[in-house]
A and B are shown apart, each in its own frame.
Chain A
Amino acid sequence: MTTRIDRRFAETRAQGRAALVTFVMAGDPDTATSLAVIKALPKAGADLIEVGMPFTDPMADGPAIQAAGLRALHAGQTLAKTIGMVRDFRKDDADTPIILMGYYNPIYIYGVDRFLKDAAEAGVDGLIVVDLPPEEDAELCIPSLKAGLNFIRLATPTTDDARLPKVLQNTSGFVYYVSVTGITGSAIPDYSKVAGAVARIKRHTELPIAVGFGVKNAETAEIIARGADGVVVGSALVEAVRISLDAQGKATAKTVAAVTSLVSDIAAGVRRAAKPVA
């Protein structure tokens, strides 16, 4: 069974380039504005969209994404509203893959079966749940695969060759390689090592490898894109949202454009790294 994610990576591969994966936080700074951002992302050059499900205690995220989650929660964002945003997005876009990303507790409390049913019906394609390693696959990973959703796993520099097969076993869609041992938006990766790390994972899987953490602008995206199937940008985009807000933390006329113009820049960087298709 091919999914939107499989098809999208096949397309970008056919174009000889990496895919651009963009992360934004659902409900930041409010549901309507973040929906407008998400709707504008494909045109700005995003190939796949990760939609953050806000959580009070995001233990693997740095200050930028923590703050984005709290802004969304203060504005009243819920998991049901986040799924509703995807449903709205799908009315106008049948092709761009949507991946929900976050932490397990809100899903667990929503109810795993109900969540998978509602997410699949809304047009969600995949899930990334940071605090569910393969040791906890029975919780959500296996049920997700049965529900027809991709379950995308994070691989990190600490995931050695002995552990990679376990991490990759039930992974589908793509592999998200975290380029640093650290939290989102913090350290700068050693770019010279990223391509080697991607090659190492590729020895274990046919899946596309997207690289995240440390992509801040067009230049860094271009460097990463040369050695990976996908480039993920997140903290830089939620920072663009934050900077566009007014003194009360409300969206302004500039908010959507602040994100899309940065995405356009980064998309251009990704495309500069394209190789001629053989």
Chain B
Amino acid sequence: MTVQPPNSFRTGPDETGHFGIFGGRFVAETLMPLILELEQAYKDAKADPEFQKQMNGYLAHYVGRPSPLYFAERLTEHCGGAKIYLKRDELNHTGAHKVNNVLGQILLAMRMGKKRIIAETGAGQHGVATATMCARFGLQCVVYMGAVDVERQKPNVFRMKMLGAEVVPVQSGAKTLKDAMNEALRDWVSNVEDTFYCIGTAAGPHPYPGMVRDFQCVIGRETREQMMEREGRLPDSLVACIGGGSNAIGLFHPFLDDREVEIYGVEAAGHGISTGEHAASLTGGKPGVLHGNRTYLLMNDDGQIVEGHSISAGLDYPGIGPEHSWLHETGRVKYISATDKEALDAFQLLSKLEGIIPALEPSHAVAKVLELAPQKPKDHLMVVNLCGRGDKDIFTVAEHLGGF
């Protein structure tokens, strides 16, 4: 389905939190006053130069930004087409793009006088980033994590504990990320006075999707500047992986109105879309309402949410940020998907060709670069967002490859 393209792709969300028909505020009444308060607080902070200055200071000196835009020479040679650049967000403190958003939300929470931070996490990267920032600023931190994921991602559980966070294994529902998010929402409903909910992706009720995107847009802004410096022009294409889609929207958004820039979002196809065991909400799902927003979701014919499957715990979510649903329907961004196997192959290839072990999440993006780049001329500039490093995944990969 394609809807009429707007004059600008960068003006959303509207006043009521919608990107076209997507987004919104589908939450229980108890949370509505909190969400309205957060919306106002974020509006004020966004307009406050002091807040921006504070953010930029920590981004430079604590997170380690700007992250490099690296010309992947051997990967480019291997593909024999487009000139491939990697946006190295895996070099951030805590090893992924998640920290960009968490920094923004934690500074906002402190402006609002909140002392207790809650978060959900799947693979544990958002949990680690939140635990890190809470340690840095002396805030109480509670991280909800599905009991199944606690078992699968033990190193990150230990990291969060070292950083002083309480990790709560979630036993409800399917015991994975979506249930962790349900449980975090239940905590928030029960602790409305002092608690700030730090959502890890560009999804959830308004104002989260737009706010998280804004905090992640540092990725795309830097990429524009760096590419202008290196090549004297904008890139021709962008590629990023999508779970909830925060790294992708952060890279894409500053380029949405440069219509000549091709943009590709890569969802997790798991064992293959036709098997039903995947986490590709746009390719294999349909619009519905969950976790505070209308967006594409994986569900059965009765509107019951089904589990996503991916080798990557960070993409293993049955939904996607609402702005991606809108960009999908307007046709501005092309959404494609990579299977577990394709991601595993790309994981190994990038490790061997460039000496960079990527996380399994961006390995999905790299997998599609391997298909897209050879079809492009040699002067085509392609940027892939390397949004996380692969240390956390080596055990999963080893298991799939039959041991070390």
Seen from chain A, the residues whose Cβ lies within 8 Å of a Cβ on chain B are: 55-63, 66, 70, 73, 78-80, 103-110, 130-136, 153-160, 163, 167, 178, 181-183, 186-187
Partner of B16, one of A57, A70, A135: A135
Helix, strand, loop or mixed for chain B's interface? mixed
A-B contact pairs, 25 of them (CB 8 A): A56-B173, A57-B305, A59-B186, A60-B185, A70-B173, A73-B304, A109-B302, A133-B26, A133-B28, A135-B25, A135-B32, A136-B26, A154-B29, A158-B29, A158-B30, A158-B32, A158-B33, A158-B192, A163-B32, A163-B33, A181-B191, A182-B189, A183-B186, A183-B190, A186-B190
- In angstroms, how far is the closest chain A Cβ from the Cβ of B195? 11
Task: Assess the B173–A57 pair: CB atoms within 8 A.
Answer: yes
Please tell me which one of the listed residues B189, B192, B292 contacts residue A183 in the complex, with CB atoms under 8 A apart.
Answer: B189
A79–B189 touching, CB < 8 Å: no
What sequence of 0s and 1s flags, for each residue 79-98 of chain B, a beta carbon within 8 Å of any chain A beta carbon?
00000000000000000000
Chain B 277-302 residues near chain A, CB threshold 8 A: 288-292, 297, 299, 301-302
- Give the distance in Å from the alpha carbon of A110 to the alpha carbon of B300 in the complex: 11
Collect the chain B residues with CB atoms within 8 Å of residue A158's CB. Answer: 29-34, 192
Question: What string of 1s and 0s marks CB contacts (under 8 Å) between B290-328 and chain A?
Answer: 111000010101111100000000000000000000000
Q: Scan residues 208-232 of chain B and give those whose CB is less than 8 A from a CB of chain A.
A: none
Question: Which of A59, A105, A160: most chain B CB closer than 10 A?
Answer: A59
Q: For A61, what are the chain B residues with a Cβ–Cβ distance below 8 Å?
A: 186
Give the residue name and chain of the A residue nearest to B297 (CB).
Answer: A105
Other-chain residue from A56, A159, A183 in contact with B304 (beta carbon distance below 8 A): A56
Looking at B24, B29, B190, B299, the one whose CB has the most chain A CB atoms below 10 A away is B29
Query: Does chain A have a CB within 8 A of B182?
Result: yes
Contact of A160 among B24, B33, B178 (CB under 8 A): B33
Knowing A79-B302, A106-B303 are in contact, say whether A154-B290 is a contact too (CB < 8 A): no
Task: Verify if B351 is at the interface (C-beta below 8 Å from A).
Answer: no
B292 and A105: CB pair below 8 A? no
A194 to chain B, nearest CB (A): 16
Chain B interface residues toward A at CB < 8 A? 16, 24-34, 172-173, 178-179, 182, 185-186, 189-192, 288-292, 297, 299, 301-305
Task: Return chain B residues, CB-CB under 8 Å to A156.
Answer: 28-30
- What B residues does A130 contact at CB under 8 A? 28
B26 cross-chain contacts in A, Cβ below 8 A: 104, 131-133, 136
CB distance from A250 to the nearest CB of B (A): 21
How many whole Å from B244's CB to the nearest CB in chain A?
15
State how many angstroms separate the Cβ of B318 from the closest Cβ of chain A: 9
Q: Do A60 and B304 touch (CB < 8 A)?
A: no
B29 near A105 with CB under 8 A, answer no
Q: Select A155's contact among B29, B179, B185, B292, beta carbons within 8 Å.
A: B29
Known: A159-B29, A181-B192. A105 touches B186 (CB 8 A): no
A8 to B191, CA, bound (A): 35
The residue among B25, B27, B30, B290 with the most chain A CB atoms within 10 A of its own CB is B30
B29 with A59: CB separation less than 8 A: no
Closest 6 pairs (CB-CB, A-B) = A109-B303, A106-B303, A182-B190, A60-B28, A156-B30, A131-B26
Q: Which residue of B lies closest to A131 (CB)?
A: B26
Given contacts A59-B182, A187-B190, contact A104 B25 (CB under 8 A): no
